Copies of this chain bind each other. A is one copy, B any other.
Amino acid sequence: MNLPSKILEQAVKQLATLPGVGKRSALRYALHLMKEDELAVRDLSEAILRLKTDLHRCRHCHNVSDTEVCPICSSEKRQRGIVCVVENVQDVMALENTQQYRGLYHVLGGVISPIDGIGVQDLEIASLIQRVETGTPYPVEEVVLALPTTMEGDTTNYYLSRQLRPFGVKVTTLARGVAVGDSLEYADEITLGRSIAHRIPFEG
């Protein structure tokens, strides 16, 4: 693509670094922004920068937050003895949207993945162990492992369960099974197998 301007070229190059955005989309964004009011573009530009300069990570659970301690960790209405370990911020949002979980979270920031060069020290694992070991900010009775069911997720689950064993904390994991509304016929074998193996009492 032959762009008529270095400034446009630079903007396209930068916008194309966004996940899933190619050169063509980036150009469309840039040309759109060119036509917008300067004020609107300034707002976008600043909002992006503030993601790095003003956004905090909660000191306890490492979820994104505008304050040093996030609203979930500081809420007195949550069950502070339960900590749900998730891969990333999106997972917290997904679980919060269910309105079924009243405990706290711990955002690892990824899972152990040697092939991507992500080891234990790159994740918020030490801080999780410390939370359980020292009981700060609150004593932990149960750790719910809610990592993805991938090789990396399973590895991380295993590592965490081994690390947590000395502290005698209850370690649980999410129930996996056929999704609500899905027919058994089209469920994959592993999922259906888990559904039947971990069957639960019928609540009539």
Contacts and interface: CB of A to CB of B under 8 A. Distances in A.
B33 A48 contact: yes
A14 interface: yes
Contacts of A17: 36, 40, 44
A51 B44 CA distance: 12
A161 interface: no
Q: How many copies does the complex hold?
A: 2
Q: Which bucket holds chain A's interface residue count?
A: 35 or more
Interface of A: 1-8, 10-11, 13-15, 17-21, 25, 27-34, 36, 38, 40-56, 63-66, 70-72, 88-90, 92-93, 96-97
11 contacts: A1-B97, A4-B63, A5-B64, A5-B65, A8-B55, A11-B48, A15-B48, A33-B52, A34-B51, A41-B48, A45-B45
